Structure 1
Amino acid sequence: MYKIGQKTVPFYKKSKVVLTMMNSAATDAVTYPVQTNKLRWWFVILILLGAIINYLDRSNLSVANPLIAKEYGLSPLQMGVLMSAFLWPYALANLPAGWLVDRIGPKKMFAGASALWSVVTILTAFTNSYSLFYLLRVMLGISESPFFPAAVKAIDRWFSKDDRGTPLAIINTGSQIANGIAPPLLTALMLAYSWKLMFIIIGVAGLVIMALWCFSYRDPKNGEVASIQEAENQVAAEHKVGWGDLFKYKSTWYMIIGNFGLVYTMWTFLTWLPGYLVVGRGLSILKTGWVAAIPFLVGIIGVPLGGIISDYFIRKGYQPIQARKVPLVSGAIVAALAVIPVPYVQDINVCIALLSLAYFASSVPTGVIWTLATDVAPKNMVASLGSIQNFGGFIGAAIAPIVTGAIVQMTGSFEYVFLIGSVLLIVSAISYGMFLRKPIEP
């Protein structure tokens, strides 16, 4: 038997009763002490800054793509392989990273990851060979893998299910902010100084974020989280799932497949958009630095919009998973439709408009992907399931630059690049929209 308030209920009904409490509580305002509220939102801001630096580390190579390719004498396929050097290790390292975050905690994993990736970025500036460059990008992928699982775990500890959608959307906006400012900012640094100094500056910024995190973050104390959070913890205490057991559930595989299509397309943009504008559209490097920023800047709007839309449908009475699927599926479909005509339009302005619409629409699901993991996962496996879903996405990301480079080298055109991206976005919409229906329950 289990006691909730003044009612004693059988254990087998406990989960249903607690979840009912949580759903009813979600309709009421949750009040936090002022200091607690300030502290947890400071952590959101700090994680957001970490996300911006994290993605600047990833995108620096795509911005410096033309200069590095010239310096090392690399073909499009070789450059595609180099750009994927980060992605394969990152995808694979997500599997143990989430497991480690669930056990070690977000503070130590965030600090260790940010310190290591910053040092690796600085060392990259001193490379003198293609093979060493490749090795350091591999190390960058491994070191960055714990960041988002640690961020999700921290938000999961400080926010309840009904109010964590907004902070997670804000954190995910960091990647879009970085993608938006990276082309003009990093191009300016690269042209004013060198691509090597650009790498050093980004690495130092990462060390600053690491220091701020170490000195300020802590887990919540008793009484600092809302009662709805405590209700979630009560359910979690007796409903635990092992890491390996997650792969036994169909929901896990639908999330892997769905995220594969989304992230494949996103990383086609991230790794090849500057190169496409230079090679495919004949723009100068300087002009590309500004034009390439436009799709990424509209993505800054798309990510929080996904969280806002899903929260709206939750307030309208939708279950969390169904509410998250509304922006996720619709964003993927709109992006697929916008990508198809890109290689066939002649006007550069129309081309940029379509690319911007496609990137905006594909950014909308990003605002709810990690939040969806907290809705589907058992409480003790939030970081783990989020990382497994991210693993699926970054397998797509790892394949994207290689496939794109091979297609461009063989055909001399980007036509099939956009067609493949469109198809995978539709696959993603189907996987999430039609097949993912319920949370993982022991």
Structure 2
Amino acid sequence: MATLKPSPSPASVTQAPKVGLRWGIILLLLLGAVVNYLDRSNLSIANTTIAAEFGLSSTQMGLLLSAFLWPYALANLPAGWLVDKFGPKKMFTWASGLWSTATILSAFTNTYSLLYAMRMLLGVSESPFFTSGLKVTERWFAKSERGLPTSIINTGSQIANAIAPPLLTVLMLTMTWRGMFIFVGVIGLIIMLIWLKVYRDPTWAEKQLIKGTDAVAEQGAGMEKAQTADAPKANWGSLFKHKSTWFMIIGNFGIMFTIWVYLTWLPSYLEKEQGFTLKETGWIASIPFVAGIIGVLLGGLISDFFIRKGVNAVTSRKVPIVGGAILAAASVAPIPFIDSTVVSIVLLSVGYFASQLPSGVIWTLAADIAPGEQVASLGAIQNFGGFLGAALAPVVTGYILDTTGSFNNVFLLGAGLLLLGALSYGVFLKKPISKATH
């Protein structure tokens, strides 16, 4: 008769398998984020080309650029709940397969309305990605070490933004904008297949190792583990009863507006206001986004540093969020009054770097604020607020361009909203959900 092997104790599990696998998963999510954002960026790169082909005004192009963003913002609400319910493996698989298909189908559209519909489908299908990544870091990493992996995943968006202008411009010039869309879509399908093969949730023993890391960090910071253990479990809708949820929505709204002005209109700004050619724009537009890569990683490192020093998690996350938003506002506000192209690009780069300091930390903050079973839900609700701002950015920018012929008011509006974001996170967001007042 076969004998049953005893379950392994936490001590019998070596660090090597857990460390190797969990960072391999983060690397795969990083690649997924790169492809995810290349799918979003392709329309921005082809902005002037598609506008000329379809005969679009700046306002019409602004509406097309936002066609992804409105469905994405709204779909984030159920996406977070779905990730909490079905887990990151299933949701990322379905999401990446659907968004890649939408990108490929976009290449075969021949009318404005069809292209608009494909961008809406892209928005819905991409909504579970970052909530899936948040759930992965919540499952595989202790609270005191989540800042870096979450920031690494979010760095993928900045890597994509940095390589998108030169890479997608070259693809567009060699295989037309339609070929560029197909190329990016096929890469997404490959990522989906790899994810389906590689990802798994941590075992019981691996979970104990992770909990042990949290216990040590909490003890060192003087925290009580029972702080949230006895809190009542909230359902999805009850999260909206907490003030913390609303301040996260408002704060992310203010920050994301300016980020998406960069993501949707920067190539056009460089061509129309700075006089660069399409080929020159492909390289110059990448400079702010390279700075953004550094900003995302630095934000995560800063927040984790303060946690290791004994500062509570919420305050530690707020340092790069609030500081980054203020620095970004101070950088973009002077641009309308600068005549030098070089100085303008420097300010744009500093502004984007600063606006990305909060990027990964904002997601990690959701894991610190929410009860464990509601992490993805709260992260998605916060992202919903951010992408309401993101959805308004291209439309408002297009309207301002059509009415004033200049980006000046766009930068001033963006600076004001960044300060709103800093105020909401810095002054009004104070407590985890379990302590917030209903």
Report the TM-score, using the length of structure 1 for normalisation: 0.91
2:185 aligned residue (187, 192, 203)? 203
AA at the equivalent of 1:102 = D
Q: How does 1:13-24 map to 2 (within 5 A)?
A: none
For 1:180, the equivalent position in structure 2 comes to 162
Distance 2:73 2:26 in 1: 24
Deviation at 1:154, TM superposition (A): 1.2
Distance 1:306 1:236 in 2: 28
For 1:411, the equivalent position in structure 2 comes to 404
Does 2:214 correspond to 1:214? no
Verify the 8 A CA contact 2:400 2:410 in the aligned structure 1.
yes
Deviation at 1:367, TM superposition (A): 2.5
1:319 aligned residue (312, 323, 330)? 312
For 2:218, the equivalent position in structure 1 comes to none
Q: How does 1:45-194 map to 2 (within 5 A)?
A: 45-194=27-176
Deviation at 1:211, TM superposition (A): 0.3
Deviation at 1:238, TM superposition (A): 6.5
CA 1:236–1:382 in 2, change beyond 3 Å: closer, same or farther? farther
Q: How does 1:350-389 map to 2 (within 5 A)?
A: 350-389=343-382
Q: Which moved more, 1:179-188 or 1:278-287?
A: 278-287
Distance 1:367 1:109 in 2: 20
Tell me, what secondary structure is at the counterpart of 1:193?
helix
Verify the 8 A CA contact 2:318 2:425 in the aligned structure 1.
yes
For 1:391, the equivalent position in structure 2 comes to 384
Distance 2:374 2:184 in 1: 32
Q: Cα RMSD over matched residues? A: 1.5
Q: How does 1:210-289 map to 2 (within 5 A)?
A: 210-227=192-209, 229=211, 239-289=232-282
Verify the 8 A CA contact 1:254 1:432 in the aligned structure 2.
yes
Verify the 8 A CA contact 2:289 2:352 in the aligned structure 1.
yes
Distance 2:125 2:409 in 1: 33
2:341 aligned residue (348, 353, 364)? 348
AA at the equivalent of 2:257 = Y
Deviation at 1:397, TM superposition (A): 0.4
Does 2:328 correspond to 1:335? yes
Distance 2:292 2:48 in 1: 24
Deviation at 1:343, TM superposition (A): 2.0
AA at the equivalent of 1:70 = A
Verify the 8 A CA contact 1:32 1:225 in the aligned structure 2.
no
For 1:302, the equivalent position in structure 2 comes to 295
Deviation at 1:228, TM superposition (A): 5.2
The 4+ residue runs of structure 1 with deviation greater than 2 A are 225-239
Distance 1:136 1:243 in 2: 29
Verify the 8 A CA contact 1:55 1:178 in the aligned structure 2.
yes
Deviation at 1:32, TM superposition (A): 5.7
Deviation at 1:347, TM superposition (A): 1.4
AA at the equivalent of 2:141 = F
Verify the 8 A CA contact 1:89 1:138 in the aligned structure 2.
yes
AA at the equivalent of 2:434 = E
Deviation at 1:239, TM superposition (A): 3.8
Does 2:423 correspond to 1:430? yes
Tell me, what secondary structure is at the counterpart of 2:288?
helix
Verify the 8 A CA contact 2:68 2:121 in the aligned structure 1.
yes
What is the percent sequence identity of the aligned residues? 60
For 1:16, the equivalent position in structure 2 comes to none
Distance 2:229 2:392 in 1: 36
For 1:25, the equivalent position in structure 2 comes to none
Verify the 8 A CA contact 2:140 2:210 in the aligned structure 1.
no
Q: Which moved more, 1:236-245 or 1:285-294?
A: 236-245
AA at the equivalent of 1:410 = T
Structure 1, gaps ≥5 residues long: 1-30
Distance 2:306 2:158 in 1: 24
CA 1:130–1:236 in 2, change beyond 3 Å: closer, same or farther? farther
Q: Which moved more, 1:224-233 or 1:264-273?
A: 224-233
Does 2:17 correspond to 1:35? yes
Deviation at 1:229, TM superposition (A): 2.4
Distance 2:337 2:174 in 1: 35
Distance 2:265 2:229 in 1: 43
AA at the equivalent of 1:408 = L
Listed one character per residue, the Cα deviations across residues 69-112 of structure 1 (whole Å, up to 9, x for unaligned) are 00000000000000000000000000000001000111000000
Verify the 8 A CA contact 1:177 1:296 in the aligned structure 2.
yes
Structure 2, gaps ≥5 residues long: 1-12, 216-224
Distance 1:228 1:295 in 2: 36
Listed one character per residue, the Cα deviations across residues 285-310 of structure 1 (whole Å, up to 9, x for unaligned) are 11011111000011010001001111
Verify the 8 A CA contact 2:231 2:434 in the aligned structure 1.
no
Distance 1:293 1:162 in 2: 33
Q: Which moved more, 1:87-96 or 1:343-352?
A: 343-352
CA 1:248–1:32 in 2, change beyond 3 Å: closer, same or farther? farther
Distance 1:432 1:47 in 2: 27
Listed one character per residue, the Cα deviations across residues 160-193 of structure 1 (whole Å, up to 9, x for unaligned) are 1111111001111000000000000000110112
Distance 1:192 1:32 in 2: 50
